[in-house]
Amino acid sequence: YDYHTGDPKADLAYERQYEHQQTYHVIPEVIKNFLQYFHKTISDLIDQKVYELQANRVSSESIEQKIYEIQDVYQGCVKLINSDSRFIMLQKISYSKKKSGFDGFTTAHLMCFMLSDADGPAPLELPNQWLWDIIDEFIYQFQSFSQYRCKTAKKSEEEIEFLRNNPKIWNVHSVLNVLHSLVDKSNINGQLEVYTSGGDPESVAGEYGRHSLYKMLGYFSLVGLLRLHSLLGDYYQAIKVLENIELNKKSMYSRVPECQITTYYYVGFAYLMMRRYQDAIRVFANILLYIQRTRNMFQRTTYKYEMINKQNEQMHGLLAIALTMYPMRIDESIHTQLREKYGDKMLRMQKGDLQVFEELFSFACPKFLSPVVPNYDNVHPDYHKEPFQQQLKVFAEEVQQQAQLSTIRSFLKLYTTMPVAKLAGFLDMSEQEFRIQLLVFKHKMKNLVWTSGISALDGEFQSASEVDFYIDKDMIHIADTKVARRYGDFFIRQIHKFEELNRTLKKMPLTGASSSASNSTSRAT
Amino acid sequence: MATTFEQMRANVGKLLRGIDRYQFNPAYFQTTVTSQILLKALTNLPHTDFTLCKCMIDQTHQEERPIRQILYLGNLLETCHFQSFWASLEENRDLIDGITGFEDSVRKFICHVVGITYQNIEYRLLAEMLGDPLDTQVKVWMNKYGWTENEDGQIFIHYQEESVKPKNIVEKIDFESVSSIMATSQ
């Protein structure tokens, strides 16, 4: 099997030799990896299925049947690979080298290339979870390689030479092309449009799109594009690619939890960078509730569980930032959780501590990428950090532009009417500067908010600021939002508890229980 | 007004994608086009196109002329330092050569911010914010928005009281929550 020596030049020469061959007796490394990946995934899947079925007391014949079905899928893939001449193209571009950066063309990439350049729909039925994993993995590989490529400090001359001579490996355009062709092939956008207007998507699905495999790959590619554009700092495009997906509904497409979570993470983050605070808060609160409720489902593999945990923490962080910039009421349970995790940090951010903002942003933001191949002759050691620094800078600037607003807000809450000059004095500002800050307050608190329509980009300018004001000549008039204390809920719950307790007591035997009963009642208050 | 904004928005979307290309191919980075895109984005305030552009121009290019100047102007507008903006623009008039109606778009944004903040504003103050030393612009914009001038040198914008009112959010207890309690109590 191992005809690849690990020396890129020799390997390349070797590949070229076999370029025009029709049949392969030697299965190249990357294909071997693919088959191993499939075999392992199928074994896992079989184990899992057997476990599920046994737990549900399904007959052993049914279990065997299920196993055959899954093995059929596996055989289908193997046959496809062995008979398909699409191999040839992959041979041209795949290099296998045992170092992490060069494993770029892995199973995921292989799958995508195969399917996106197909001459006809591949006769495969794969679980949605797999399809999501494939797209997810594909982008992750691109991400890893991009970052690897930029860290030239610890590379050997040989590696740098190889990179320099092969700028097309994991080129951002080809990654985009793969995703776009999966989207086009399935006509997923057309299908979604028809679906949301109540029609039958099959009518526009086309030859490929009617197969679940292509339809779902198309859908997951949209999410992939959302992610990719976000990683490249184009937030507008990121949300735009999802314009046919109703993000506020749980549609039939989105049953893979990791896909849901990833989608809302990136959408929320994009909203935050677009200064659509209300939308960001709404999106984060929703998905955090979703995670809270479905937590128990995520025991599949530890790796996935950890990833969801991490995104959960990150989204709490982003929500903390958004709520600091734009205080508004959110779901009580999420708010409690948030205070537990980030209460202290939120207080410091409210006081204007830029460092906390930046730390939280650094923790919670995506791992940004540069789409550009570095100039290997002139790369300084921190080059790989630049995409992140760039986004951090835009964020920090925004925070600084709004630096005074938090303090002004707290002062506004204290009064209803006052001369502008006097309030300026309290805030230790000149009247002119204070008037300017008031303009900034109004400007920054009026954001685009999604109200209706399919596209998440739609919106109207609204302000739901808890404290509002207007200036009339020399006076400022302030309107606050007061929220009455909620006691009804608390009382109702306690009354129910007490009744429950009473019922339990009545059922208890009288002998010897009287002393413990009186203890219980006193504890109930 | 909404239609014009939407149209501008659609165009800016394309322009932002234009930046994409230049970003991917640094050899083709064109300062002029990027500057134009940035200035165009400023004309779409209060939309955040300008901020989003900054996310796609790398640090090195951000420091080149005239991009640095444009970013500075943008910052002044975002922080509502309108008087400083006009002063700065005076020193860099050549920047906006290619963009028709740039100043009008900026004034439109300024009027938007004034309109949501003030009920009555001093004439002089508005004139300064509109960068109008010769007093030609104020009346034009007052007409556009239907603002009227009072006797005491004030301009009346509109009644803010309807939109800026104290709110009291009172707890609502619905019947269902208490019905079970009412049923069990005799």
B84 inside 8 A of chain A by CB = no
B47 touches chain A (CB under 8 A): yes
Burial code of B78-96, b = ≥16 C-beta within 10 A, e = fewer?
bbbbbbbbbeebeeeeebb
Residue positions counted in chain B: 186
Q: At what angle do helices A172-186 and A212-231 cross, to 10 degrees?
A: 140
Q: How confident is the model at residue A87 (pLDDT cuts 50, 70, 90)?
A: very low
Question: Quick one: pLDDT at residue A107?
Answer: 47
Q: List, in order of start, the domains of chain B with CATH numbers.
A: 1-99 (1.25.40.250), 101-185 (1.10.10.10)
**What is the average per-residue pLDDT within A265-281?**
96
> pLDDT band for position B173 (50/70/90)?
confident
Please tell me whether the interface predicted TM-score (ipTM) of this complex is above 0.90: no
Compute how many other C-beta atoms are within 10 angstroms of the C-beta atom of residue A504. Answer: 11
pTM for the predicted model, two decimal places = 0.78
pLDDT digits (tens, 9 = 90+) for A308-348: 889 999 999 999 999 999 999 888 889 999 999 999 999 99
What angle do the packed helices A257-273 and A302-325 form, to 10 degrees? 30
pLDDT tier at A148, thresholds 50, 70, 90: confident
Residue B119 CA to chain centroid, in angstroms? 19
Token representation of residue A276? 């659509």
Contact list in A for residue B80 (CB cut-off 8 A) is 436-437, 439-440, 443
Where do the DSSP E strands lie in A400-491? Answer: 417-419, 447-449, 460-462, 468-472, 475-479, 481-483
Q: From the CA of A524, how many Å to the nearest CA of chain B?
A: 18
Of the pLDDT bands very low, low, confident and very high (cuts 50, 70, 90), residue A46 is low
What pLDDT, in 10s, does the model give residues A428-477?
Answer: 999 999 999 999 999 999 999 998 888 888 889 988 888 999 999 899 99
**Which residues, at least 6 apart from A210, have a Cβ–Cβ distance to it below 8 Å?**
A202
Q: How far is CA A345 from CA A129, A336, B155, in A?
A: 36, 14, 44
Contact A274 B48 (CB under 8 A): yes
The pLDDT mean for chain A works out to 77
Residue A521 is predicted with a pLDDT of: 46
Three-state secondary-structure class, residue B136: coil
Contact A245, A239 (CB under 8 A): no
User: Which among B123, B116, B100 has a CA at the least distance from the CA of B39?
Assistant: B100
User: How far apart, in whole angstroms, are the C-alpha atoms of residue B63 and residue A37?
Assistant: 48
Q: Tell me, yes or no, if B20 comes closer than 8 A to chain A by beta carbon.
A: yes
Spell out the residues 6+ positions from residue A433 whose beta carbon is closer than 8 angstroms to its own. Answer: A424
Instruction: Report the SS3 class of residue B169.
Output: strand
Residue A39: pLDDT band (50, 70, 90) is low
| Residue A317: predicted pLDDT | 97
CA A171 to chain centre: 23
β-bridge partners, A471: A476, B118
Q: Find the mean pLDDT for residues B76-93.
A: 94
Question: Are A238 and A209 contacting, i.e. CB atoms less than 8 angstroms apart?
Answer: no
Is residue B184 less than 8 Å (CB to CB) from chain A?
Answer: yes
Closest approach of B99 to chain A, Cα-based (Å)? 23
Q: B167 CB near a chain A CB, below 8 Å? A: yes
